[in-house]
Amino acid sequence: MNSTLILFLIFIVVTLAITYWAAKRSATAGAYFAANRQIKAWQNGVAVAGDYMSAASFLGIAGLIAFNGYDGFMYSVGWLVAYLTVLLLVAEPLRNAGKYTMADVLAYRLHPRPVRAMAALSTLTVSTFYMIAQMIGAGALVSLLLKDSHITFHTAVIGVGILMIVYVVFGGMLATTWVQIIKAILLMGGTIILSILVMNHFGWSFSNFFDAITKVTYHDPKGATVVKDFLQPGGMYKPPYGALDLISLGIALIFGTAGLPHILVRFYTVPDAKTARHSVVWAMVLIGAFYIMTTFLGFGAATVVGRDFIAKNGGQNMSGPNLALFLGGNFFFAFICAIAFATILAVVAGLTISASTSFAHDFWTNVVHKGTERSPGEEVRVARITAFVVGAASITVAILLGPTFNVAFLVALAFAVAASANLPVIIFSIFWKRFNTAGAVCGLVVGLLSSIILIAIGPSLMGPGPTAWFHRAAPIFPLQNPGIISVPLGFLGAWLGTLLGGRDAAAEAKFTELEVRANIGLGAEQATAGH
Amino acid sequence: MADTKTTPGATSASSATSAPSGDGASQWDRVAAMDEFKQLLKSKARFIVPATIFFIVYYFLLPWLVGYYPQKMDKRVWGSVNIAYLFALSQFFVSWLIAWLYVRAARKWDDSAKNILNRLKGGK
């Protein structure tokens, strides 16, 4: 057995022990869905960071920088800035006004059944697309990391899927939270050690480090030696549409993060709005520090390891682990690989619990059964079954699509839907008195459809691109990221729907209640005593 | 549809007990009518609106300038380090600064929310 596998097993044993501990504390709905709202600010902040920073960040961005230089670093900036939208506009009103899901806020003063049905559909779309992307990534990664131990893509996907189901079905939000906290601490620890090793390699001289970045040497596909200045912009975002695509991605990040259901549900786990605010700040400190350190991970891999070696040993996404191998040896390589594994598990667990909460609370209890549980504990029971079904379905889909399936567009789609469908209706329900049910349904439908359609007719799926399915015509929409069109369309749809829907006196009358509740926490859900 | 309308907290006993006792729905109107509440909303808007506009503009300046003026942004200002890198790096610190200013401003909003809730409990 190699050391990566042993570290994997240690992580699995620890997280299963936590799940066992959490399972005994997750009997009631408040405990299962929101950890009794007793999570502390720092814990929730660290968990948000753990929920958010996926393997795409840890391995993907390091690889983007290692292969494309500066543009990869520019790409990483938006992931932190997006949290200002969460902090300034969404976290506190959401915590005060809602109970378990994003839809609680939308349904507060609108007709709950159509709004919740659409919001649940949007939540499930975002979560499943994102989850399938993570599962395929996990399978490809684990089979690569553990290639000596004969673990195949299928075994890896099934293993990750089963663990995720166990965490969520038995341990609920409490187990998910602690898996995310442990993962975030491991991820930050590994990244800090790697950064220190990179600076140590350059004799603690930033000017040596940056000088090396201006002279990155590798061989192009024809075998010619290339010396390139990796601080120069333009490595990835090339004319004519590169800059526009990056702006479009930025729009999806800045407006989408505050509409990601698995991030939003985290704010229901804390006792009050003030704690929610402080937890966003904790998350911002960690997330910001992490993305700044991608400078060392990415440029470090480009200068210390070099593109040639990485390309032959796992490819772009293995830039970080290869850097660990060069600077810290075999054991440190195993440690970094185990962190990547922990990272994926924590993110898929967060996605599973938000999807199952939304189905059980929004769709089952509030849409199908008009807001009442037919028997005590039904909502939690439905959520556990949903978590199992969602997990089994994503294992199946991930295996059917296979390890070579391009997952980047699934992530782009998840963020685009969150930004174009979820965020406009969240913002309007909190801040616009006139907003009504027609506006919410229209905004959700327009945002969801425009994101899906623009991705389907974009270069990810159409035209000559390497990942395209439909090769017979050039892409109709030139950008990989639809945000620049779909986000304004989502807002426009919500606005037009409101005007066309006519005035809803009841919804407007209830705006005062929502405004008071959102701003001072009067009537907000309280923390309950644990066991 | 109006008959199916429930608040998110309607199925939960905890939210009902947490609201201070008063004459039913009018507690919301009583808070909304308080000058201190109106001041609180104004004070929040005065911070949140400009801060949101600022961070959005500052963030999108980065891809816009780097995307459309790559040569100018590649100017080396500190050894090998160029404006493009420093500008991207500055985004992190500016985000943290805005978050810190927000948390500082929110302290006085918390006080005023507490005052409002106390006055409501006092039945004034």
Q: What is the pLDDT of residues A29-62, one digit of tens each?
A: 999 999 999 999 999 999 999 999 987 778 889 9
Query: B3 in contact with A at a CB cutoff of 8 Å?
Result: no
Query: B75 in contact with A at a CB cutoff of 8 Å?
Result: no
Confidence of residue B10 (pLDDT cuts 50, 70, 90): very low
Quick one: pLDDT at residue B123? Answer: 61
Chain A with chain B: Cβ pairs closer than 8 A: 190
- Lowest mean pLDDT, pick from A428-442, A455-469, A495-509, B107-121: A455-469
Residue A397, Cβ neighbours under 10 Å: how many? Answer: 16
Q: Which of A74, A281, A291 to mutate to test the interface with B (most CBs of B within 10 A)?
A: A74
Q: B2 and A97 in contact by Cβ < 8 A? A: no
Quick one: pLDDT at residue B5? Answer: 39
CA distances from residue A2 to A158, A159, A337 in whole angstroms, order as listed: 21, 18, 12
Is the pLDDT score of A192 beyond 70?
A: yes
Which of B28, B63, B68 is closest, CB to CB, to A74?
B63
Query: B82 in contact with A at a CB cutoff of 8 Å?
Result: yes
Quick one: pLDDT at residue A404? Answer: 77
A84 SS3 class? helix
Give dist(CA A262, CA A273) in Å, integer: 18
Ordered DSSP codes for chain B: -GGG---GGGG-HHHHHHSPPSSTTHHHHHHHH-HHHHHHHHHHHHHHHHHHHHHHHHHHHHHHHHHH-HHHHT-EEETTEEHHHHHHHHHHHHHHHHHHHHHHHHHHHHHHHHHHHHHHHTT-
CA A406 from chain centre, in angstroms, equals: 17
Query: B68 in contact with A at a CB cutoff of 8 Å?
Result: yes
Nearest Cα residue in chain B from A211: B80
Quick one: pLDDT at residue B14? Answer: 37
Which of B4, B18, B89 is closest, CB to CB, to A113?
B4
- What mean pLDDT do residues B39-60 have? 97
Is the pLDDT score of B39 beyond 60?
A: yes
Confidence of residue A432 (pLDDT cuts 50, 70, 90): very high
Is the pLDDT score of A468 beyond 90?
A: no
Please report residues of A whose CB lies closer than 8 A to that of B67: 233, 237, 242-244, 246-247
Residue with the larger pLDDT of the pair B35 and A403: B35
Q: A520 and B66 in contact by Cβ < 8 A? A: no
Is the pLDDT score of A376 beyond 60?
A: yes
Is the pLDDT score of B95 beyond 80?
A: yes
A225 SS3 class? strand
Please, what sign has the CA dihedral across residues A398, A402, A403, A404? negative
A231 SS3 class? coil
Is the pLDDT score of B21 beyond 80?
A: no
Confidence of residue B24 (pLDDT cuts 50, 70, 90): low
Which of A210, A233, A526 is closest, CB to CB, to B73?
A233
Average pLDDT score over chain A: 91
H or E element in which residue A171 lies: helix A153-201
- What mean pLDDT do residues A112-139 have? 90
- What mean pLDDT do residues A480-503 have? 95
Residue with the larger pLDDT of the pair A274 and A8: A274
Is the pLDDT score of B13 beyond 60?
A: no
Q: A243 and B31 in contact by Cβ < 8 A? A: no
Residue with the larger pLDDT of the pair A143 and A317: A317
Q: B32 and A104 in contact by Cβ < 8 A? A: no
- Going by C-alpha positions, the residue among A263, A240, A284, A244 that lies closest to residue A415 is A263
Contact call for residues A321 and A333 (beta carbons, < 8 A)? yes
Distance, in angstroms, between A512 CA and closest chain B CA?
Answer: 7
Q: What percent of chain A is predicted at pLDDT more than 70?
A: 98
Q: Which of A88, A208, A281, A517 to mutate to test the interface with B (most CBs of B within 10 A)?
A: A88
Quick one: pLDDT at residue A58? Answer: 82
Which of B9, B52, B88 is closest, CB to CB, to A88?
B52
Interface predicted TM-score (ipTM) = 0.93
Confidence of residue A342 (pLDDT cuts 50, 70, 90): confident
Cα dihedral A309/A310/A315/A321 (nearest 10) = 140
pLDDT in tens, A254-264: 999 999 999 99
